[in-house]
Amino acid sequence: MSVPPSGPNAGASAARGAAGTQAVAARAEQLTKVYGSGDTTVEALRQVDVAFAAGEFTAIMGPSGSGKSTLMHCLAGLDASTSGRVTIGDTDLSALNDKQTTLLRRDRIGFVFQAFNLVPTLTAKENITLPLDIAGRKPDQAWFDAVIDRLGLRDRLSHRPSELSGGQQQRVACARALVGRPDIIFGDEPTGNLDSRSSGEVMSILRAAVDEFQQTVIIVTHDPRAASYADRVVFLADGRIVNELRHPSADDVFEYMKHLDDPAQQAQQRPATTPPPAPAAPVAPPAPAAQPNPPSAVDHLNQSPRPTDPISPADPIPPAQSNWGPPADGTEAPDGRPGRHSRG
């Protein structure tokens, strides 16, 4: 499976194949999700087709209720679709049983949630290594140190979540997702509860995961500034993908979002990554789940590192960007985009 490479970062991507194409990290095909039945039926996803290139940072945006979380949860194997297909790499999630789905999530996927989902009785360090502990693996010390220092958590490791600020808790949640070096990190509004400074730090570590470690990052956000860290912004409206922007500035995203509910713009929108919706498609009754039972609330913690993926201690991780504003050298992209990485 491949998609054409695009964007300045594509050239640097280790995920790019010899033929000049990029591997697909995750894909939804004709994905439908229907909640409820009868009068209470909600079509949260309507035949969504979208692919996420490996080594790329994608932000999913759209009005409240447009299906962003549903799409992300189906992609990550946290929820079952009604029909259609999800693949992670070359693995078809619908072909996996519960145990295989749990292992896939554990080994290949990291999650960062808006609500942090830390275990209150454990210290920051214990929370971070919990997925590895569950998997019976030791953290790679060099990588653990790199992540901790990059996120500025060194002096908070022995604190419990209640003794940490919201931003620190979210950075712990990021560290937990990063230490296992998963192929894909999903974030559902990972900066939704953070102030602008902490948001910048979280987005900058996610950006670094893509630029320096070739991980794939897919987040849902309502924040144009956060979205401007992404290589690609995909817009959902009413359960369909309606457009996408590549390397947008925060202003580009803001402008687009302002009109996303505007019927005139909606009429002009052609789905960039999906075929046009079938006219007057009947609402199908919920089919048997295409994927195994949704996991328990703590299942996402059950991750492990890939044993064959060592990190060189020499791998440089730049200091955390301290806020949304210009970087330490005072430069800022002319479009107002945070000056955090080398993009064209």
Is residue 9 a contact residue for ligand ATP (CB under 6 A)?
Answer: no
The minimum distance between CB 189 and Mg ion, in angstroms, equals 7
Tokens of 285: 């009754």
**Token pair 């690609």 is at which residue?**
232
Question: CA triplet 157, 161, 163: central angle to 5 degrees?
Answer: 85
Using the minimum distance from each CB to ligand ATP, give the nearer residue, 68 or 337: 68
Which of residues 69, 101, 102, 321 is near Mg ion by CB under 5 A?
Answer: 69
Tokens of 185: 């990190």
Stretch touching Mg ion by CB under 5 A, among 68-76, 152-160, 171-179, 328-336: 68-76
Contact 216, 185 (CB under 8 A): yes
Is residue 69 a contact residue for ligand ATP (CB under 6 A)?
Answer: yes
Is residue 240 a contact residue for ligand ATP (CB under 6 A)?
Answer: no
Q: Which does 1 bind (CB under 5 to 8 A by kind): ligand ATP, Mg ion, none?
A: none
Is residue 70 a contact residue for ligand ATP (CB under 6 A)?
Answer: yes
Q: Which does 32 bind (CB under 5 to 8 A by kind): ligand ATP, Mg ion, none?
A: none
Contact 236, 67 (CB under 8 A): yes
Q: What type of residue is 212?
A: E
Is residue 295 a contact residue for ligand ATP (CB under 6 A)?
Answer: no
The minimum distance between CB 114 and ligand ATP, in angstroms, equals 9
Rounded CA-CA distance 151/249 in Å is 24
Rounded CA-CA distance 339/333 in Å is 6
Of residues 237 through 256, those in contact with Mg ion by CB under 5 A are none
Is residue 284 a contact residue for ligand ATP (CB under 6 A)?
Answer: no
Is residue 102 a contact residue for Mg ion (CB under 5 A)?
Answer: no
Using the minimum distance from each CB to ligand ATP, give the nearer residue, 7 or 67: 67
| Bridge partners for 246 per DSSP | 232
The minimum distance between CB 67 and ligand ATP, in angstroms, equals 4
Is residue 221 a contact residue for ligand ATP (CB under 6 A)?
Answer: no
Burial grade of 177 (CB within 10 A; 0-12, 13-18, 19 or more): buried
State the sign of the Cα–Cα–Cα–Cα dihedral 11, 16, 17, 19.
Answer: negative
Tokens of 311: 């990190």
List of E strands, 119-238: 184-188, 216-220, 232-237
Number of shown-chain residues binding Mg ion (CB under 5 A): 1
Cα radius of gyration rounded to whole Å, the chain: 19
Contact 23, 2 (CB under 8 A): yes
Is residue 66 a contact residue for ligand ATP (CB under 6 A)?
Answer: yes
The minimum distance between CB 75 and ligand ATP, in angstroms, equals 12
The minimum distance between CB 17 and Mg ion, in angstroms, equals 33
Is residue 81 a contact residue for ligand ATP (CB under 6 A)?
Answer: no
CA dihedral of residues 198, 203, 204, 210 (deg, nearest 10): 160
The minimum distance between CB 150 and ligand ATP, in angstroms, equals 28
Overall residue count recorded for the chain in this entry? 344
Q: Which does 67 bind (CB under 5 to 8 A by kind): ligand ATP, Mg ion, none?
A: ligand ATP
The minimum distance between CB 243 and ligand ATP, in angstroms, equals 15
The minimum distance between CB 314 and ligand ATP, in angstroms, equals 40
Contact 75, 53 (CB under 8 A): no
CA 149 to centroid of chain Cα atoms: 22
Q: What type of residue is 101?
A: T
Pattern 29-58, ligand ATP, x by CB under 6 A? ------xx-----x-x--------------
Q: Which residues are near Mg ion by CB under 5 A?
A: 69
Q: Which residues are near ligand ATP by CB under 6 A?
A: 35-36, 42, 44, 62, 64-70
